[in-house]
Amino acid sequence: METTTLANSGLTCSRIALGTRTMGTGARDSAAAGAGWDRHNALQAILEAVENGITTIDTAPLYGFGESEALVGEALHRGRLRQHVTLSTQAGLDWHDGTPFRDARPQRLFEEVHASLRRLRTDVIDLYQVHWPDLACPLEDTAGAMATLRRQGKIRAVGVSNVTGQQLRAFHAICPLTAVQAPYNLFERGIEEDLLPTARELGISVLGYSALCRGLLSGKMRPHTRFSSDDLRNHDPKFQPPRYAQYLEAVDALNTLARDNGLSGVLPLAVRWLLDQPGVDLALWGVRRPEQILPMLELDGWHLDDALNAEIERILAETITDPVGPEFMAPAGR
């Protein structure tokens, strides 16, 4: 498994990070806690991921409303694996009646870090990230609180998620950052305009999440696929007509391209594309069952060549005439 060292930290990570948003019965939508969720399978998936060299694990209190972190902590404790893993979690979101909202005030961050340490069964978090910027709290206060946690030894490195290039620069000036996490995949490339160049300029590592665009790039979606009423994808414009047909057409063409080049399908093609983008250090890949680990092992030892990249761009240009980003995911402020 490919590895890298995160900026300004000395943290060595597998370039594939195990995403755990889909683990936990308390998840706020069935895109997260959907069909197939099972505690035993989730624990086995974590253990098998680490066994196969996926030593970066990303979680958050919001995922399963604490259950995801607890599962990660249990798996690492059961396998005595904590020292072999780079552990990443997040802070700065609260929730009421299952609805998340932003709260990155210092007191909230100080409370959250202790709860996360307890659930994760560890005495230090390797990478601690502000999940979403809290526009109702001065950035200086949030950044100062994160710097305090690092000085106290509760966390090793600081990151932010879902920020603009300007917010990244301002935060970094107060509290030097190791990483920024943002949605990035073949269908959602907004960070190429501002955030990605800014991160490269500042020497901040980039973690791309939603590598499979909420399942679209898994190759498993069909025109008749339906989602339960609480599924996040009901609010994603990409899953609504007429755009949905465009994205499925693109996936079909990408799947054919992948198979013609010896891959099992579009999934490894999509993740390899993300890993090959200049400035991207890690790709987050969410699973909830151990068999979902297997395609990750298909990514090692090869890269997309110029011809494949050109064909990917041609397919996207010809099939998706009305692209849309992930803006719908943003939680409310306080």
33 confidence band (pLDDT: 50, 70, 90): very low
Q: What is the pLDDT of residue 46?
A: 96
Query: Does 32 score more than 70 pLDDT?
Result: no
Judged on CB neighbours under 10 Å (0-12, 13-18, 19+), 35 is exposed
In degrees, to the nearest 5, what angle opens at C-alpha 204 toward C-alphas 326 and 32? 35
Q: What number is the average pLDDT over the span 278-290?
A: 93
What residue numbers bound the domain in which 293 lies?
3-215+274-300
Confirm whether 114 is domain-assigned.
Answer: yes
Residue 25: per-residue pLDDT: 67
Among the listed residues 63, 128, 244, 247, the single catalytic one is 63
pLDDT tens-digit map of 135-178: 999 999 999 999 999 999 999 999 999 999 999 999 999 999 99
88 within domain boundaries? yes
CB-count exposure of residue 1 (10 Å: 0-12, 13-18, 19+): middle
The answer to whether residue 118 sits within a structural domain is yes
- Residue at 294 is within a domain: yes
User: Does residue 334 fall inside a structural domain?
Assistant: no
Record the pTM: 0.93
Assigned domain for 18 exists: yes
The arithmetic mean of pLDDT across residues 185-199, rounded, is 97
- For β-strands 99-102 and 93-96, DSSP reports them as antiparallel
Q: How many separate domains does the chain show?
A: 1
Distance set, CA 105 to CA 16, 146, 176 (Å)? 31, 10, 18
Average pLDDT over residues 21-31: 62
Indicate if 128 belongs to the active site.
no
Please check whether residue 67 lies inside any domain of the structure. yes
264 in any annotated domain: no
CATH code of the domain containing 155: 3.20.20.100
